Structure 1
Amino acid sequence: MVNVPSAGLISVADLIGDAVVRVPVDATVVAAAEAMAEAGIGAVVVGDQERPTALVSERDAIRVIAAHQDPASVPAIDVASTNLVWCESSDTVEQVAVRMTDRHIRHILVERAGVLVGIVSARDLLGVYAAEANPVV
């Protein structure tokens, strides 16, 4: 049997992969959704600031559609989350899971030395906990 490390031992740095996907500050919800679909992710940063202040998720796009608004004319920044929560790349999966649960969020921005290096989603954390609960033999 393979020994799967505990969520308390895995750093979130091990979960981040490709570069953070961004859309321009003037992007529409459609443009943000297209960027998410193309990259196979659930959230994108709005704007090109070194330290972002806005994040648009799949759920934000769905809210626009559910409100019968035209996602091609709604600016992504208007529906973006702006109260962003950050963690350090050295934080453990367990620490980040607790922070995300306490804040009722699905995405957390990961920084190293004050620089954005990734975004971790609840789905990413679930993968760790699922592997821990059902290790591959």
Structure 2
Amino acid sequence: MSTSLTPFVVFMTIAVLSQACSGDLWIEEEFRLQIFNDLPGEVTLTVHCRSKDDDLGFQRIPPSGMWEFRFTPSFWGNTLFFCSFQWPNHFHSRDVFVQDTDVARCKGLCEWHATSTGPCLKNNACDIW
């Protein structure tokens, strides 16, 4: 290796190790994603969640019930899960985990509450269907 490249290689090695130690480069934490059926009127909620690589199938969540799945975000930082939400006369979909924002926002647990007006993250950050 040429002596002019040595400082650059040392700098890059330190930068990569620094990111790894701060937790920004590798995510080894398992995440839990929960979906709660908070719909009024004793209605069963059907959800179908998937990512680019995984299809979690259709899940029926009873009134006031909850369904959960676990996953480890990608080393490359591109994990995305999206779900459809269906109950009588309604069909909606949304992203439920986007790695760029939700690693910090969820801190290991993404807790979604399906309501008649829209989904709520941890019952306080609500969107409109």
- Give the structure-2-normalised TM-score: 0.24
Which structure's CA Rg is the greater one? 2
**1 or 2 for the larger relative contact order (CA 8 Å, sep ≥6)?**
1
Structure number with the higher strand fraction is 2
Structure number with the higher helix fraction is 1
